[in-house]
Amino acid sequence: MSTTRKRVYGYLAQFKNASALYKAAEKVRDAGIKKWDCYSPYPIHGLDGAMGMKRSILPWFVFFGGMTGTATAFTLAYTTQVVIYPTVVQGKPANIFTVPAYFPIMFELTVLFSGFTVLFGLLSLIKLPRLNHPLFASNQFHRATDDGFFIAIEARDPNFSTTATRELLEAAGGANIELVEEED
């Protein structure tokens, strides 16, 4: 006998169109909800601002990843060409001022480290890989990629209340409000 426990993930509400979703997002933001998201079949200009989203920290990760690549390449080239295996050109040993010879490897490792930082930084920021999401169990969420506009408010939000959150979504114009549960 299988006993699967379910816990509340949150509420999912559908909206008529992009404009209604935009206005509802502003109302949810103004209500102080922090753990929520909007879903639509196409990008909606200005929705980030309506949701109160800040700029991503990912560009800073990429910058420091690239600088790490540059420093690694410089250290690698200097150590191999000056310290371990000194290069002698026309009777003169190489020194730190032969930087133009280091440019190709510095460029390549900067790009490589930046690329890896983008990949792994993005995956960690958006909490992937997650093979299944509780919203996939919803009867109506499959329309989010076709013609549906949705807001999902998560139960882990400190301001979440089963009655107050439902009333907020109804006041914002939400229809087909569904309580979504996930398996424990």
Average pLDDT score over residue span 152-175: 95
CA distances from 8 to 90, 138, 161 (A): 75, 12, 11
- Chain segment 126-149, per-residue pLDDT in tens: 888 888 889 998 989 999 999 999
Q: Give the model confidence (pLDDT) of 91-133 as tens digits.
A: 777 666 677 888 999 999 999 999 999 999 999 998 888 888 8
Distance of CA 67 to the CA centre of its chain: 22
Helices (H), 31-134: 47-51, 58-78, 103-125
pTM above 0.85, yes or no: no
pLDDT of 69: 98
**Amino acid at the residue 65:** G
Domains delineated in the chain: 6-53+127-183 (3.30.70), 58-125 (no CATH)
Cis peptide preceding 129, ω within 30 of 0: yes
Of 26, 38, 28, nearest to 141 by C-alpha is 38
